[in-house]
Amino acid sequence: MPASGYMQDPDFITLFVAPLEAAGIQYMITGSVASSIYGEPRNTLDIALVVLLKQSQISQLPILYPEDHFYLPPSDIIVIESRRESRGHFNIIHHKTGLKADIYLSRGHPYLDWSLAHTRRVQTENCEVTIAPPEYVILHKLQFYKESNHQRYLRDIAGMIEQQTLDQTFLQAAIATLQLDYQWQAAIAFSNR
């Protein structure tokens, strides 16, 4: 996999990803950590994880993230969030470091299945981890840019455009379907600076 070779603070992996790996819970790293691996590194205080959490696995979370070390919402909140069609979400926070994992449970994203079929495995200092494909990361960053107009999303996307070979057929179709053409053109212009 062509990548910049950059990996965020290994504490993110040790604290939040390694427990999911050990428990066999399906996930993929996305957000700023993924875009830093695929493109231009930048610091972040959180890790975004798409987690395909089965109802039977919810009871494992307090064991994986014990309350004396982590803030984890009550199980009934996680159950409610896991049943939402879109934007199901909760946070896990490590008390000592303040590091945070944004856990996205959404099953409603139109390209989730494609993304899960195209994840990539990357070896870190601590373990092998699953990363969302760069096209999925780009689509989400385009959506965030559309909602917030923050330039950092364009910078993240530009870094991935410059350093990755992207599935342009998939990406162009998804951009058109999600009506992100304007945002995509802004990202292209940003990368051509």
Any idea which residue has 């802004």 for tokens?
186
Q: 168 exposed, middle or buried (CB, 10 Å; 0-12, 13-18, 19+)?
A: exposed
16, part of any domain: yes
3, part of any domain: no
pLDDT at 106 over 80: no
Number of domains in the chain: 1
> CB of 160 within 8 A of CB of 140?
no
2, part of any domain: no
Give the residue numbers spanning the domain of 144.
10-191
Q: What is the mean pLDDT of the chain?
A: 90
Least confident of 27-36, 117-126, 184-193: 117-126
Residue 4's pLDDT is 42
162, part of any domain: yes
146, part of any domain: yes
Global pTM reads: 0.89
Closest CA to 141 of 41, 58, 32: 32
Confidence class of residue 72 from pLDDT cuts 50, 70 and 90? very high
Confidence class of residue 6 from pLDDT cuts 50, 70 and 90? very low
Q: What's the CA gap between 184 and 172, in Å, rounded?
A: 9
Between the alpha carbon of residue 35 and those of residues 50, 125, 135, 154, the distances in Å are 14, 18, 10, 11
The CATH number given to whatever domain includes residue 22 is 3.30.460.40
99, part of any domain: yes
Residue 108's pLDDT is 67
Residue 85's pLDDT is 77
